[in-house]
């Protein structure tokens, strides 16, 4: 090498070094540009992804979150970055998450990485929801990252639950449900109702066709029913047929068939109604409907009667309150009139005409006083003090306190075992009223009888006479206050009796036939057995 060449060598080396450095700079610039472009593309992909994507470090700290994950959990980005990922998990999963990561870092044994699984997510508002999680690992020279792809499967879970519910309903339906192949006609499914009613197992049915259950139907006849579904002329057909069970017995059915798709193949869906059972049900429904109408009519009558009774009681109570308020003011003048009449009777000459008028005054004063007393007693009627009482003894006690004419035969046939739960004093008032009314109805003698029957926890006492009876138009008003079938009396006895019976949780009813007599039915609670 010449001296000149030797002198050029350093220059060439310098030039080459400069070129190399310039190339490296250009290369690095290109790498950074490519990296920036890749990052932009990656951010665009992550930002537009429908699934949530969360990246965490090996200590569980959230490193990055895409927009879908923010929306999924209800957080803003700055609320998530730098926080532990356990904030997105409900208990008890959040307590063990960091420990699972550390165990994996130490052992290298993956339990969930690369394996999709279902977990629970926790939103910002505290609600939980199902997630399908796919987890992957990225190891860089400086750190280890884990990326989770999250999919909200709430809708899928709801759909699965709905399908499971529908499947349960179909399987357990009392109606027979069959699926059979549209080409081979072989059964592919039969619900429990179909299996139990026909007596075949599912495996046995899957070896059969509808023709095996319809001995009286030919292939041509069945095809004529099904062909409109294949051609699309109709979406459902209905026809009647007869099914034969495994044991050979038959039953009439109504068949409803539709064409559907099951796992990619066309199938006929047949719903079978047992017409025999259906007809029995329809007949029972008609009967029940008639009974219901009768019950409604009876209940309406009861409500009307109860309303009328309530109005009567309110009217009677109002009269009682008024009479109670003015009783003192009225009784004083009445007492004065009675005293004066008595004085005149004792001191005046014995003039028959005068005596007749004075006695009439005395009777009317007694009548007016009786009206006031009855109303006042009703207004002051206390709530009953319930106790166990023998119904028979209660009647005997009332009879002892009542004068019964010799021409009236008394027959107390009430069972000695019938013990009622009532206020004895109040019910004696009721019985006395019924007995006196019966006596008044048998002016020429007759028979007064008492009977009792028990139904469950109720005891009915029947007080019957053989008197003149009550006309139907009067019978309807017999319990009204101030209404009387007798020429004497103020018409409060039965109204007061009705009120007492109501307070004692009982019922008072009446039956009567002109010329045959009247029966009052007093129904009361039976006393519970003594301990």
pLDDT at 346: 77
Q: Determine the Cα angle at 155 with ends 153 and 160, to 5°.
A: 90
DSSP, res 84: B
* Chain segment 224-279, per-residue pLDDT in tens: 999 998 888 888 999 988 899 999 998 888 899 999 888 888 999 998 888 876 66
Consecutive H or E run containing 460:
strand 458-465
pLDDT at 3: 43
pLDDT at 363 over 60: yes
Q: Residue length, the chain?
A: 531
pLDDT at 457: 94
Measured in whole angstroms, how far is the alpha carbon of residue 137 from the centre of its chain? Answer: 54
Instruction: Take residue 154 and report the two structure tokens written for it.
Output: 């709430």
Consecutive H or E run containing 509:
strand 507-513
Whether 233 and 268 have beta carbons less than 8 Å apart is answered as no
291 vs 284: CA distance, rounded Å: 10
116 vs 438: CA distance, rounded Å: 92
Q: What is the DSSP string of 197-223?
A: HH---HHHHTT--HHHH-TT--HHHHH
**Mean pLDDT (whole number) for 396-410:** 91
Q: Determine the Cα angle at 83 with ends 78 and 85, to 5°.
A: 115
pLDDT at 193 over 60: yes
Whether 498 and 508 have beta carbons less than 8 Å apart is answered as yes
* Residue 419: how many other CB atoms lie within 10 Å: 19
pLDDT at 319 over 80: no
**Mean pLDDT (whole number) for 426-451:** 91
Instruction: Phi first, then psi: give them for residue 388, nearest 5 degrees.
Output: -75, 125
Q: Determine the Cα angle at 267 with ends 261 and 272, to 5°.
A: 120
pLDDT at 5: 44
pLDDT at 394: 93
* Residue whose pair of structure tokens reads 């003011």 in the numeric block: 329
Contacts of range 100-107, beta carbons closer than 8 Å, 24 or more positions apart: 101/58, 101/59, 101/60, 101/146, 102/58, 105/58, 105/144
* Residue 123: how many other CB atoms lie within 10 Å: 14
The whole-chain average pLDDT of the chain stands at 81
Whether 520 and 474 have beta carbons less than 8 Å apart is answered as no
253 vs 271: CA distance, rounded Å: 10
pLDDT at 175 over 70: yes
pLDDT at 492: 67
Compute CA distances 193 → 176, 286, 317, 413, whole Å.
5, 26, 63, 57
pLDDT at 13: 61
pLDDT at 186: 93
Measured in whole angstroms, how far is the alpha carbon of residue 469 from the centre of its chain? Answer: 48
**Mean pLDDT (whole number) for 433-452:** 92
Rounded to two decimals, what is the model's pTM?
0.38
pLDDT at 257: 92
510 vs 78: CA distance, rounded Å: 85
92 upstream amide cis, omega within 30 of 0: yes
Sorted by where each starts, the structural domains of the chain and their CATH numbers stand as 46-156 (3.30.450.20), 159-279 (3.30.450.20), 298-377 (1.10.287), 383-525 (3.30.565.10)
518 vs 464: CA distance, rounded Å: 6
DSSP, res 477: T
SS3 410: strand
pLDDT at 30 over 80: no
Instruction: Take residue 318 and report the two structure tokens written for it.
Output: 């109002």
pLDDT at 2: 42
By DSSP bridging, strand 144-152 and strand 128-139 are antiparallel
Phi-psi region of 517 (alpha: psi -120 to 50; beta: other; left: phi over 0): left
């Amino acid at each position: 090498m010449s001296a000149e060449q030797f002198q050029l060598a350093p220059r060439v080396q310098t030039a080459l070094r400069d070129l190399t450095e310039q190339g490296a700079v250009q290369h690095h610039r290109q790498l950074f540009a490519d990296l920036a472009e890749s990052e932009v593309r990656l951010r665009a992909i992550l930002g537009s992804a429908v699934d949530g994507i969360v990246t965490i470090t090996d200590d569980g700290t959230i490193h990055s979150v895409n927009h879908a994950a923010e929306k999924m959990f209800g957080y803003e980005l700055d609320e998530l970055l730098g926080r532990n990922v356990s904030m997105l998990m409900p208990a008890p999963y959040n307590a063990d998450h960091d420990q699972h990561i550390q165990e994996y870092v130490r052992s290298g044994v993956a339990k969930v990485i690369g394996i999709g699984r279902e977990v629970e997510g926790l939103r910002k508002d505290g609600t939980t929801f199902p997630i399908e999680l796919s987890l992957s690992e990225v190891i860089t020279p400086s750190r280890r990252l884990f990326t989770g792809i999250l999919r909200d499967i709430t809708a899928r879970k709801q759909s699965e639950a709905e399908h499971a519910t529908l499947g349960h309903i179909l399987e357990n339906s009392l109606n027979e449900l069959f699926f059979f192949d549209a080409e081979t006609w072989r059964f592919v499914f039969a619900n429990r109702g179909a299996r139990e009613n026909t007596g075949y197992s599912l495996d046995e049915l899957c070896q059969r066709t509808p023709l095996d259950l319809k001995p009286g139907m030919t292939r041509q006849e069945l095809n004529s029913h099904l062909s409109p579904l294949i051609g699309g002329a109709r979406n459902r057909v209905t026809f009647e047929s007869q099914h034969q069970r495994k044991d050979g017995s038959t039953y009439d059915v109504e068949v409803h068939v539709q064409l559907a798709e099951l796992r990619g193949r066309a199938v006929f869906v047949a719903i079978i109604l047992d017409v025999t059972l259906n007809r029995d049900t329809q007949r029972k429904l008609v009967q029940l409907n008639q009974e219901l109408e009768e019950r409604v009519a009876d209940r309406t009558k009861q409500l009307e009667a109860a309303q009328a009774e309530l109005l009567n009681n309110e009217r009677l109570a109002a009269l009682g309150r008024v009479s109670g308020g003015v009783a003192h003011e009225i009784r004083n003048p009445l007492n004065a009139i009675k005293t004066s009449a008595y004085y005149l009777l004792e001191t005046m000459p014995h003039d028959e005409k005068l005596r007749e008028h004075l006695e009439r005054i005395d009777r009317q004063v007694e009548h007016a006083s009786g009206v006031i007393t009855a109303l006042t007693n009703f207004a002051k009627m206390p709530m009953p003090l319930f106790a166990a009482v023998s119904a028979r003894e209660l009647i005997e006690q009332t009879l002892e306190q009542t004068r019964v004419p010799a021409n009236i035969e008394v027959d107390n046939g009430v069972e000695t075992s019938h013990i009622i739960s009532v206020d004895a004093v109040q019910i004696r008032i009721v019985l006395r009223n019924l007995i006196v009314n019966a006596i008044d109805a048998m002016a020429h003698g007759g028979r007064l009888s008492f009977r009792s029957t028990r139904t469950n926890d109720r005891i009915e006492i029947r007080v019957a006479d053989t008197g003149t009876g009550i006309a139907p138009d009067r019978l309807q008003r017999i319990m009204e206050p101030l209404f009387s079938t007798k020429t004497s009396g103020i018409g409060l006895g039965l109204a007061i009796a009705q009120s007492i019976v109501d307070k004692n949780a009982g019922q008072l009813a009446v039956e009567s036939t002109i010329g045959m007599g009247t029966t009052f039915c007093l129904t009361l609670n039976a006393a519970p057995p003594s301990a």
